[in-house]
Amino acid sequence: MKIDALKIFKQRSEKITCLTAYDASFASVFDQCGVDIILVGDSLGNVIKGGENTLGVSMKDMLYHTQAVAQATSQALLISDMPYQSYTSAKQTLENAKYLMQAGAQMVKFEGGREHESAFKILQDNHIPVCGHLGLQPQAVLEMGGYKVQGRSEDD
């Protein structure tokens, strides 16, 4: 799937499918089944590494898993998470997004909205597709005092 197809889906109010994969075996199955988007999520910190949260996931982890998933994906759009503290400055944001794209991501994703406006802008200015993650934000779990409902208001 190409990014332009997402715009068409939205215009037509069509639903899309998005599943998370961390390795080539699952990515291959999802891709062959026609899943529209495959996400390599920093949730691998919980699911693969057995952690309590996503905060211990490194860029090295994300690059490894993005590369594995990319090698098994030919049809689906591949989105990769930018892990905790990997987009705190313009330079760092651009550098880390570039590495994820080189590993096979077709778009990068990070948590938050307005508070990361400069990160969105630097990626857009450099033609790196980006999407935001609104609502429950696992990277803010310590700041929020646990997993709490978020994203119910415009301020969230």
Total number of domains constituting the chain: 1
pLDDT at 142: 45
Residue 130 to residue 123: CA distance in whole angstroms: 7
Query: Is 80 inside a domain boundary?
Result: yes
Structural domain harbouring 31: 3-144
Query: Is 151 inside a domain boundary?
Result: no
Local confidence pLDDT in tens for the 156 residues of the chain: 788 888 898 899 999 999 999 999 999 999 999 999 999 999 899 889 998 878 889 999 999 999 999 999 999 999 999 998 898 888 999 999 999 999 999 999 987 666 667 788 999 999 999 987 665 565 554 455 554 565 566 665
pLDDT at 46: 87
pLDDT at 146: 56
- CATH number of the domain to which 83 belongs: 3.20.20.60
Query: Is 150 inside a domain boundary?
Result: no
Three-state secondary structure of 80-111: EECCCCCCCCHHHHHHHHHHHHHCCCCEEEEE
Neighbours of 75 (CB within 10 A): 13
Query: Is 156 inside a domain boundary?
Result: no
